[in-house]
Amino acid sequence: MPEIWELTASRIATEVRAKRLSAVDVTEAHLDQLARVNPAINAVVQEFPDEALDTARQVDAALARGEDPGPLSGVPVTIKVNVDQKGHATTNGLRLQAALVATEDSPVVANIRKAGGIIVGRTNTPALSLRWFTKNDLHGQTLNPRNREITPGGSSGGAAAAVAAGICAIAHGTDIAGSIRYPAYACGLHGLRPTPGRVPAYNSSGPDRFIGAQLMAVSGPIARSIQDLDIALTAISAPDVRDPWYVPVAAGSADFPKRAALALAPDGMDVTEDVRAALLDGADRLRDAGWTVEEVDCPPMRRAAAVNACLWMAEMQFGASELLAREGEADSQFVFARMSEEAGQVGFRSLMEALQMRAGLVRQWELFLRDYPVVLCPVSGELPFDQQLDVSSEAAFSRVFEAQLTQRAIPAIGVPALSVATGGANGRPVGVQLIGPRFREDILLAAGRDIEKAGSPIGVSDPNRS
């Protein structure tokens, strides 16, 4: 049998329910792994082993009473430090928020607890969750357990690094411009960005966010198997009345045509040969599983990315620019300046026009996805970047920004997307991205399973040896 910390979440939940493993045994194994490997990668930045073990004992007690704790029975999970967990600081990578201790759980944390999950730590993010790299002045830099020379991704870089290193089986992440999908890609994992409204969100520790984040920001899971993403989504999407945007839509189960559109270079974006090869391989895997895959042009990505930039920068310029200035963290200030330059100064007219454009783009994409329920496209135009590439120069930032076109575009059109790991190239992980219709995460997971089955299982990487 593999080490306990190498098991998938689905296997752990099965073994714990059958009482072949106790939740305490599972938690202790993952806490031991955290202690062994986390100093090498700095993925988890808030630890509370006694609290985790107490929760595990409660799960075992529920099972002893003949109760089912839920789909995450005994599964070790990490939480990103930008959502509220009662008794812990919601730092979002900021020194200014080091003492911002939450007094209640956010919906996603509450749902994980209700599903029997064991929270073993909280994971790192760049300051204000602003970058595709994970480093800040409060918690330091997170390294990629697969390859320390490359980014673990961002902003959920600590989350992905924790899963890849066996610290947890499932990690919580958030995504407004790729912050789930890109870290999963960079760490050789799978990551699901759900439809906005699928997973309830709310932080009582701060004011409600502005319209950009309300429309585009989501919480979602990162894991080493597609089945784990499925059970995680079931858990975290339970209703919570605190989120006015929550949509009580049942998990999709209707039949759908197994037809996919292959978009090798959406809107003419530059794509490296390694990324192109991964897309062609993904298309072949789908065809072998009975899908019809056609190479076609997908609806606009660049206009959607422009909407994302306008809505996100309106939020940043209105509410966060002063916070970044007070924080004084050089990397985030550099990135914010470059992103503001790309978006321009956002005023009332440009914001209204962006919202108007968004309606047309959503319509265009939904009509396209009616004919092609899956779009297969790049996660990024390049293999995972070298550490700190984005802040090395203005030219390097522009290169990163262009490569992340699909990361930026998809949140603006309100559809779910799935990053699927497919292997490696030149010592770096590689994968593909799947896009589907609103609230049809089931279609993406079905396609993801077919791609996954044609490859090798994802293993844990020991950062002490990499």
Query: Among candidates 37, 51, 67, 245, which has minimal Cα distance to 148?
Result: 37
Is 155 labeled as catalytic in the residue annotation? yes
Would the pLDDT of 466 be above 70? no
pLDDT band at 186 (very low <50, low <70, confident <90, very high): very high
pLDDT in tens, 189-238: 999 999 999 999 999 999 999 999 999 999 999 999 999 999 999 999 99
Q: Which of 22, 73, 80, 106 is catalytic?
A: 80
Give me the pLDDT at residue 316, please: 83
Cα 175 to Cα 80, 295, 375, 408: the distances in Å are 11, 27, 19, 10
Q: What is the percent of the chain where pLDDT is above 70?
A: 100
Would the pLDDT of 136 be above 80? yes
d(CA 170, CA 168): 6
Q: Which residues have C-beta within 8 Å of that of residue 309, sequence separation ≥ 6?
A: 339, 342, 343, 408
Is 340 labeled as catalytic in the residue annotation? no
Would the pLDDT of 319 be above 80? no
Q: What is the mean pLDDT of residues 440-453?
A: 98
Q: What is the percent of the chain where pLDDT is above 90?
A: 94
Q: What is the mean pLDDT of residues 292-319?
A: 93
Total-model pTM: 0.98
Tell me the residue length of the chain. 466
pLDDT in tens, 259-275: 999 999 999 999 999 99
Structure tokens at 132: 């595709």
Would the pLDDT of 44 be above 80? yes
pLDDT in tens, 399-439: 999 999 999 999 999 999 999 999 999 999 999 999 999 99
Q: What is the mean pLDDT of residues 297-314?
A: 95
Query: Among candidates 81, 96, 90, which has minimal Cα distance to 320?
Result: 96
pLDDT band at 317 (very low <50, low <70, confident <90, very high): confident
Q: Choose between 387 and 255: higher pLDDT.
A: 387
d(CA 57, CA 167): 19
Give me the pLDDT at residue 321, please: 83
CATH fold of the domain at 4-453: Amidase signature (AS) enzymes (3.90.1300)
Give me the pLDDT at residue 253, please: 73
What ranges do the domains of the chain cover? Answer: 4-453
Would the pLDDT of 344 be above 90? no
Structure tokens at 203: 């932080």
Q: Are strands 417-425 and 428-435 parallel, antiparallel or unpaired?
A: antiparallel
Q: Which of 129, 179, 380, 419 is catalytic?
A: 179
- Share the mean pLDDT of the chain: 97
Is 73 labeled as catalytic in the residue annotation? no
Q: Which of 155, 219, 225, 419 is catalytic?
A: 155
Would the pLDDT of 251 be above 90? no
Would the pLDDT of 361 be above 80? yes
- Sequence-ordered alpha helix ranges (H) in 95-225: 107-114, 157-164, 181-186, 211-216
Q: Choose between 14 and 251: higher pLDDT.
A: 14
